[in-house]
Amino acid sequence: MLRLTRTMPVKREPTVHELKTWPRFFAGLLDGTKTAEVRLNDRYFRVGDELILREFNAETDDYTGRVERRFISRVDGLRLVIGRGGFVLLSFEPKGDCAREETA
């Protein structure tokens, strides 16, 4: 007889997620007022994962070259809040002195 048991989540190394961020939201990253974001959980975000947030201008359909780096400090499911599964609230913070970078 096959017996199913509940197992602990599989441990894995932190993942790096590269995400587009529109300019009006990117500004909050720069001044420190944006510390969380609602996202579709299509990437299986976990605490400790790194976010590479690239400013993306939808009007020009191109990246601006500005990049911010954050680390996920909390992941909250939103099923009870929005009545639909699949979305999470990601809380994040910079780590170290090298959180900000510019690319050409």
Domain extent, residue 95, equals 16-102
Is residue 2 assigned to a domain? Answer: no
- Domains: count for the chain: 1
Is residue 78 assigned to a domain? Answer: yes
DSSP letters spanning 46-79: -TT-EEEEEEEETTTTEEEEEEEEEEEEEEEE-H
- Strand 62-77 versus strand 16-21 pairing type: unpaired
- For the chain, what's the residue count? 104
Is residue 65 assigned to a domain? Answer: yes
Is residue 71 assigned to a domain? Answer: yes
CATH number of the domain to which 51 belongs? 2.30.130.30
pLDDT of residue 35: 94
pLDDT of residue 91: 94
Is residue 8 assigned to a domain? Answer: no
Handedness of CA 90, 94, 95, 99 (dihedral sign): positive
pLDDT of residue 96: 53
Which mean pLDDT values do the consecutive 10-residue runs of the chain (104 residues) have?
51 90 94 92 92 95 96 86 78 65 43
Whole-structure pTM value: 0.75
Is residue 62 assigned to a domain? Answer: yes
Is residue 59 assigned to a domain? Answer: yes
